[in-house]
């Protein structure tokens, strides 16, 4: 039977409890996970041989660290998973604003409680989730926000002189004592506030304005930043950089399989209405759009193309297919290439453009990325297949108009008018003969988009197909 947790200092001492620093706690629990062969950072893909070993070394070394990376590289997620390396619960003096250790209180409130109550001092248990504090650095953050300041209201209500420690309004760092403090976008913090972090990083204590006391805080501090901002002159105070022990670079997925795994994990595609089936080539096209965006000269690569883009695009693609299936009374929602074009609004807001790109517009660039991604996917799946009969159909004056809202069966019937089109999708394995009409329609659209990308036919603004423009 599980013994009840101690509720007083005396009961806690009777258990033989010994305090560990946060860094030792993280280190010990990490060693336990490594020894047990557990996944250190579940749900984080593509960092197994790069970021995770560096992060592990930093924690084992009991170092503060900074994650440098472009947007959408799981920096905040990694920081929040550090909580899992903390103990499930730790004891604190009841009512303490700074999570006072019952065996070594740092605040006057904590010391007075023990002086007054002795072994009867009440104890509370703090869950690991309560020991993580995160702050987004902005130019308006003040020293009072981060470290603390004089609180005249406390002084007036308690009848204390202003220099009394009991009149302190504690900032975020003291309130994170015995836990993890994370600060996102460090370069956005004003230089004078950065200076305020010197002591806590080097000496492990802070001094609050107006008080003749230093608080010896027990913290692990982690930061995130964009590499360009972090290395820019004037963005980071040099002594602060020197005090951050480890600099860890994150990155975007380095292969398509990893990117696909991330989007599959994060995108909301299992709807609570119609069943959804996403053809593998649709998933690949969505992912390749982002990959191509990271190589596009008209896109600002210092901002990057976030991994959030394919997640948002995939969710929008599925919604477009879901809407069509509801309108047409179909039993299954199957995304097609037209649904990817319908997801342009999920792309344009996530593309930071260079001057040339701004002149052409985000929508045009996104459209070109979709076409290029479809072409690459077609070449991989069906490259080298005989498409002569399909091209000949359009060169002889044939046209094909595909409506975004057309039922899958109607689309397949229309595609059957193009000699060899449906048969080709079966031959290369895109849509076996027993596939649903939705999969066949999506496969036929992929073939046509592939031919457009290879400039063998052309695509009209309205989503139709015709002979290649000379």
- The C-alpha atoms of residue 314 and residue 307 are separated, in whole angstroms, by 12
Which residue, among 257, 63, 45, has the nearest Cα to 54 in the 3D structure?
Answer: 63
- The C-alpha atoms of residue 9 and residue 91 are separated, in whole angstroms, by 9
Q: Fold for domain 9-249?
A: Rossmann fold (3.40.50)
Each residue's pLDDT expressed in tens, for the chain with a length of 470 residues = 356 789 999 999 999 999 999 999 999 999 999 999 999 999 999 999 999 999 999 999 999 999 999 999 999 999 999 999 999 999 999 999 999 999 999 988 899 999 999 999 999 999 999 999 999 998 888 888 888 777 666 666 666 665 666 677 788 998 999 999 999 999 998 888 888 888 888 777 777 776 667 788 999 999 999 998 887 766 888 889 999 999 999 999 999 999 999 999 999 999 888 899 999 999 999 999 999 999 999 999 988 999 999 999 999 999 999 999 999 999 999 999 999 999 999 999 999 999 999 999 999 999 999 999 999 999 998 877 889 999 999 999 988 888 889 999 999 999 999 999 999 999 888 988 889 999 999 999 999 999 999 899 998 877 788 998 76
19 burial (CB, 10 Å; 0-12 / 13-18 / 19+) is: middle
- The C-alpha atoms of residue 320 and residue 20 are separated, in whole angstroms, by 53
Q: What is the pTM of this model?
A: 0.89
- The C-alpha atoms of residue 206 and residue 140 are separated, in whole angstroms, by 20
- The C-alpha atoms of residue 254 and residue 139 are separated, in whole angstroms, by 34
- The 10 Å Cβ neighbour count of residue 335 is 29
């Amino acid at each position: 039977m599980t013994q009840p947790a101690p509720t007083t200092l005396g009961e806690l001492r009777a258990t033989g409890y010994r305090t560990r620093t946060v860094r030792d706690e993280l280190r010990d629990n990490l060693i336990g996970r490594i020894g047990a062969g557990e996944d250190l950072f579940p749900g984080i893909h593509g960092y197994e041989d790069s970021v995770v070993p560096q992060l592990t070394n930093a924690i084992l070394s009991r170092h503060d660290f900074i994650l440098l990376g472009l947007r959408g590289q799981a920096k905040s997620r990694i920081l929040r998973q550090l909580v899992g390396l903390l103990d499930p619960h730790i004891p604190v003096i009841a009512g303490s604003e700074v999570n006072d250790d019952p065996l070594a209180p740092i605040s006057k409130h904590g010391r007075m409680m023990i002086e007054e109550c002795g072994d009867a001092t009440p104890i509370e248990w703090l869950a690991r989730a309560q020991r993580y504090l995160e702050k987004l650095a902005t130019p308006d953050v003040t020293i009072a926000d981060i470290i603390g300041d004089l609180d005249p209201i406390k002084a007036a209500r308690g009848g204390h002189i202003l220099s009394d420690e009991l009149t302190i309004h504690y900032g975020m760092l003291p309130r994170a004592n015995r836990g993890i403090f994370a600060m996102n976008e460090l370069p956005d913090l004003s230089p004078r506030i950065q200076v305020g972090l010197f002591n806590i990083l080097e000496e492990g204590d802070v001094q609050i304005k107006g008080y003749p006391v230093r608080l010896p805080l027990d913290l692990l501090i982690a930061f995130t930043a964009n590499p360009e901002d972090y290395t820019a002159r004037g963005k980071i105070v040099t002594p602060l950089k020197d005090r951050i022990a480890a600099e860890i670079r994150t990155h975007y997925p380095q292969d398509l399989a990893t990117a696909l795994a991330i989007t599959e994990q994060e995108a909301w595609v299992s709807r609570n209405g119609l069943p959804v089936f996403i053809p593998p080539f649709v998933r690949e096209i969505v992912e390749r759009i982002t990959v191509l965006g990271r190589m596009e000269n008209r896109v600002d690569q210092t901002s990057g193309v976030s991994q959030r883009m394919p997640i948002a695009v995939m969710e929008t693609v599925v919604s477009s297919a879901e809407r069509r299936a509801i309108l047409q009374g179909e039993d299954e929602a199957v995304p097609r290439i037209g649904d990817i074009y319908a997801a342009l609004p999920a792309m344009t807001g996530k593309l930071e453009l260079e001057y040339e790109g701004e002149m052409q517009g985000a929508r045009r660039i996104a459209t070109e990325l979709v076409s290029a991604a479809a072409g690459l996917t077609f070449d991989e799946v069906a490259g080298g297949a005989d498409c002569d009969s399909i091209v000949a159909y359009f060169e002889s004056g044939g046209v094909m108009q595909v409506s975004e809202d057309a039922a899958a069966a109607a689309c397949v019937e229309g595609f059957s008018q193009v000699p060899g089109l449906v048969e080709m999708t079966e031959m290369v394995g895109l849509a076996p003969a027993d596939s649903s009409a939705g999969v066949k329609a999506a496969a036929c659209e992929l073939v046509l988009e592939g031919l457009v990308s290879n400039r063998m036919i052309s695509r009209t603004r309205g989503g139709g197909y015709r002979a290649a423009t000379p």
